[in-house]
Amino acid sequence: MVNKMAKITTIEAIMKKYLLVLTIVALIAGTITGYYIAPAVKQHKELLKYIIIILAISTLYPSMIKLRLEKIGGALRDTKSLLTAILLTLIIAPALSMLIANYLPDPTIRLGYVAANIVPASSASVGYVLLAEGSIELATSLVFITILGSLFVGPLYLEYYGSLEMVRIPVSKIAVSMLIALITPLVLGQITRYYLIHKKQVDERRIGPYLSFITMTCMLSLIFLLIMSKAPIIVNKPYIAATIIFGQASIILVVLGILWIITRILGIRYGEHTAIAYVSISKNESAATIISAVALGGAATVAPAIIPAIQPVLCILYLHVLARIKNTQTY
């Protein structure tokens, strides 16, 4: 058992270290495979859709086991940080995504891009906050709050943007997709957490590497399948991928820029700034995949598949920025 855990821990550490490289490999492999087996992909598109949804939920589930809802409480009394995170995550990011989506050529891809920016933060955001020595309690609280907020405003954003695109999307369909994407993994994850951590008294540090390994494996498999399913579009129209990457980088940089201004004005401390930053820029693309596949269909899953190529890069770069600021005490 000890040897098995050591092996999983080693593999998990290697995957985490080279996650960006593995993501790029999954993108390239999916593009090449999907392009050459396009007829087979088209023939089995319904089966592929359900596999993608199952993989997306499987990617979310371990992260929801890690989510410590018991940490929420006091952190929610920090109204400055709470309102700032809501402003950036649920208002500014979706608004910017609607502007950038206009540069994409296909209405379904545009809707998918908007969907990719109305989803809440991923649990990876808490991991980044941990690495940056920010406020874990606030980050956990904000993840939970943005999940609830997305459930309310997400369907409205998609219905509104769909009306601009002359695409009718029933609110009920969007709501169902968001419940599947956000609530199902959250409930199952918290039930599992209660059973393992509180009832069976399992040390969270022991299961951590297993959960990370499952999350990364499912995520890489999901990216591969998503890209494979839309490979002809990406190969024939490479500017779509370039626009999505450039657009997402722009949203992240603008959000961080606005956060810096708010931080200075309101006097938000380093730990809180770090939590707000990563909850605002680290979007849960697995959730966006489920919403796109269930409610939008077609090429809507292209954006959630491509965004992981740029999002972690900027998240990691910002870690270096924060480290420099903290060490020089110029924050």
Residue 274 · residue 322 · CB < 8 Å: yes
Does residue 215 contact residue 80 with C-beta atoms inside 8 Å?
no
For residue 225, what is the domain's CATH number?
1.20.1530.20
Q: Hunting for tokens 């402003």 — which residue is that? A: 87
Helix H segments across 198-284? 204-229, 231-236, 238-266, 270-281
Secondary structure of the chain: what % helix, strand, coil (to 5)? 85, 0, 15
For 34-50, write each residue's pLDDT tens digit: 999 999 988 988 898 88
pLDDT of residue 329: 47
Residue 283: beta bridge partners?
121
Which pTM was predicted?
Answer: 0.82
CA-CA distance, 41 to 47, in Å (whole number)? 9
- Provide the pLDDT for residue 75: 63
User: What distances in angstroms separate CA 190 from CA 61, 69, 185, 220, 246, one per listed residue?
Assistant: 9, 8, 8, 24, 36
Kindly report the number of other CB atoms within 10 A of residue 109's CB atom.
Answer: 25
How many structural domains comprise the chain?
A: 1
Query: In which domain, by residue range, is 227 found?
Result: 2-328
CA Rg value for the chain:
19
* pLDDT-flagged residues of the chain (< 50): 329-330
Partners of 121 in the β-ladder: 283
Report pLDDT digits (tens) over 46-97: 898 889 888 888 877 887 787 777 767 666 778 899 999 999 999 999 999 9
The position carrying tokens 């020595």 is 133
